[in-house]
Structure 1
Amino acid sequence: MHQQNQSLLAALNACIAACEHCATACLQEDDVKMMVRCISLDRDCADICALTARLVARGSEHAAHLLRECAEICKACGDECEQHAAHMEHCRECAEACRRCEEACRQGVTA
């Protein structure tokens, strides 16, 4: 597999793990209602990253389209998690993973 695809797949998989962890941790917060948008975006982001990873891994002709969408959702999730990052470590880690994945997806589209 091409080195760029390996880096992209690593970023996608790291983002999946961070988003799943963040969503689970958000469900354990005292004010879960405050975290609804974060949880929803975490789940959407993890799902789009998983699908994108599968299409990239198989060299699908549709990967480029999905990479653009994935970058957009990673940005939205990262933006939301950053709002909670000062007082929630899981959100800080998720925001960082989303930013790395967003950038890797944008680079993957242009490759």
Structure 2
Amino acid sequence: MKTFAVAILTFGLGLVTGLQIGNHFIVGTVRNQFRSSSAQHQSLALVSVHALDELQTGHVESAKSFLAREVGYYYRSIQQFDPPSPQKQELLHHIEASSASSPELKDALSRKTQ
């Protein structure tokens, strides 16, 4: 009977310890994902507010050029590090199609990465 009680106690202690460790790692992972998502949204907001400022002051060509440079930078550089996905392929096709009607984007896509 003592052996059974020790086994149950050991199992319970192991279970509680395992749950605590698992909880610690899960919370850490969620926090890291939230930080990453927050950084992405912050970058998007920065680009958006700059473009809005340009548009509101009547600098349409400047806004188009700025946005085209941002898209071009993604297309030429950053997207190489993104894992393949249907969404990525769709975005790349959309960028290429849009460049046919946007001289600014076409120019930004053709520039060499610096």
TM over 0.5: no
Q: Relative contact order: is structure 1 or structure 2 higher (C-alpha 8 Å, sep ≥ 6)?
A: 1
Please say which structure displays the higher CA radius of gyration.
2
Give TM-score, length-normalised by structure 1: 0.37
